[in-house]
Structures are given as C-alpha cells and as structure tokens.
C-alpha cells in the first residue's frame, strides 16, 4: 500500500508508535478522544480526524491501540459503516484470544480486512521503533501492512493466521509477568537477608542484559524431551544442574528466614521438564 495510514489511540505506547508513522510517505491521519496527543502529532505533520468515522474514510490501513477488548470492539463498530472495502485494520491492543477472529469475520462482511498485531517492548520500544510486532492474518494482508509495521517495529513476526499474533503475545507475556511475581519472591528473600534491594535490581538488569534472561533458554522448536544428539544439550543440562542447585539453596535460605517462596519451590520441581529433561534423576 502507498496511500495514507491512520492511527487510533494515542496513549503511552500508541502515541510514539504513531510518531514513527510520520515517516510514512503516504501521510498519517490520527484520532484520539483526548485533544492534546493529536494536536502534538498535527504539529509534527500528521492530519487530525474529528472522529473514527472521519479517519477511516481517508486511509488504507489503520492501527488501533486502545485500552482493552471492549474499546477495540467499539472502535471497529464505529469504523464499519464508513470504511471503504479493502481497508486493513491492525489491532495492536492485547485482546482476548478469540477476539481477532470474531472481529475479522464481522469486518469481512463489509469488505474490511483485520490483522491482530500486538506489540512487545513498551513505551521505550515504541519511541525508538524497536518494538516486536506479532502479526496474525493471511499472507496477502500481512504483506500489504508490512511497510507501516516495519516503521514501528524492528522485529515484525508473521505468527500465522488471524489470532496467532494475540496467542504469541499472551505466551510472551506469561513469561514476563510470572517473572515479575518471581522478582517479588526474590525481593522478599533479599530483604529478609538484609540485602540492598536497589542493588539487587541493578545486578539483575545487568546480568540479564548479558545472558538474555529467561528468553535465553527458548532456543528449541519443540517442548519434547531433549534428544541425545541435540547440539546444545550440554548447555541445557548445565543450566538444569546449576539451577536445581541454586534453587535448592535459595529455598533452604527462605525456610531459615521464614520467607514464603512458592514459585521457587515449583520451579525447583519443574526446571528439568521445562528444559526438556525428566523430572527425576537430578539433584
């Protein structure tokens, strides 16, 4: 596509995403219920629409980054009567797993194509164009939307058919927020041990930047047991051995200090299977 693109929802992540689209040669049209974000983008060169209905009549693709599932549904409902057939709607909000397919079916009755394209990387990634954008939709629609998407994201993944982008995002965020909960356990343990929590945070961020954090073990294309001839079996086995040892010591320290660490206890049981090894036979 070569014509104008649109963007609805100019919040913490949506506004910097839209700012990246100012570089789109066909032009940018924006809308938000709050007046100041569109005004800021207008000063930078965007055109401001007075409503969602007004916006979709001017663009070939529109990104939607609103707060929740309900707002996404509301925005699409406002678009349908005014949109020209062939419009592509990219849903960047994280919605329920079945929502993209449901909305795509409704939109198709009006000749409108929907892709789900949730993002990972937060406001910082949106500001510098380094987001990961996880796209669900057919090949043709993905190809048509790819140019604008690549202005906003450094890693644009076509995850599969409609809904696959959302499922991809939910899997990614499961790891993200379970890790947050584990960080709470680590903080409670460190605090009970009399340690500096600010220093702990700095060390975690420093070493995760070196090792890649939890994502470093996501290197296989299956969750089946690790094959004997798998090239990185030794590395995974080393992580298992080291992890069980250190988790065991951490749980022992937590017991001594009276700190509840249920996630650590579960990780101690499940680390081996998570890495592709049996749950027994390793201490």
Q: Which residues are catalytic?
A: 169
Residue 280 Cα distances to 211, 243, 245, 247, 271, angstroms: 27, 14, 14, 16, 11
Long-range contacts of 36-39 (CB under 8 A, 24+ apart): 37/10, 37/11, 38/10
CA–CA gap between residue 52 and residue 131 (Å, rounded): 25
For 33, the token pair is: 């219920």
Cα dihedral 41/157/104/161 (nearest 10):
170
Tell me which residue of 235, 247, 215 sits closest to 277, measured CA to CA: 235
Closest CA to 80 of 116, 104, 115: 104
Q: How many angstroms separate the CA atoms of 126 and 180, rounded?
A: 21
DSSP state of 194: T
């Amino acid at each position: 596509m070569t014509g104008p693109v649109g963007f609805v929802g100019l919040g913490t992540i949506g506004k910097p995403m839209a700012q990246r689209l100012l570089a789109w040669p066909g032009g940018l049209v924006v809308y938000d219920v709050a007046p100041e974000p569109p005004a800021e983008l207008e000063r930078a060169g965007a055109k401001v629409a007075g409503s969602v209905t007004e916006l979709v009549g001017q663009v070939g693709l529109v990104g939607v980054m609103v707060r929740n599932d309900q707002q996404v549904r509301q925005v699409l409902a406002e678009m349908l009567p005014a949109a020209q057939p062939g419009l592509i709607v990219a849903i960047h909000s994280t919605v329920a797993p079945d929502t993209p397919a449901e909305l795509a079916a409704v939109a198709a009755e009006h000749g409108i194509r929907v892709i789900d394209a949730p993002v990972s990387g937060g406001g910082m990634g949106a500001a510098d164009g380094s987001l990961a954008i996880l796209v669900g939709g057919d090949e043709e629609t993905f190809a048509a939307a790819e140019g604008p998407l690549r202005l906003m994201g450094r890693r644009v993944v076509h995850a599969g058919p409609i809904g696959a982008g959302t499922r991809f995002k939910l899997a990614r965020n499961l790891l993200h927020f379970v890790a947050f909960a584990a960080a709470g356990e680590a903080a409670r343990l460190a605090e009970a041990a009399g340690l500096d929590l600010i220093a702990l945070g700095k060390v975690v961020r420093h070493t995760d930047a070196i090792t890649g954090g939890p994502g470093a073990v996501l290197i296989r294309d299956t969750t089946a047991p690790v094959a004997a001839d798998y090239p990185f079996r030794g590395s995974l086995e080393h992580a298992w051995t080291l992890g069980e040892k250190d988790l065991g010591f951490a749980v022992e320290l937590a017991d001594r200090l009276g700190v509840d660490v249920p996630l650590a206890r579960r990780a101690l049981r499940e680390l081996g299977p998570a890495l592709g090894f049996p749950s027994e036979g390793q201490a």
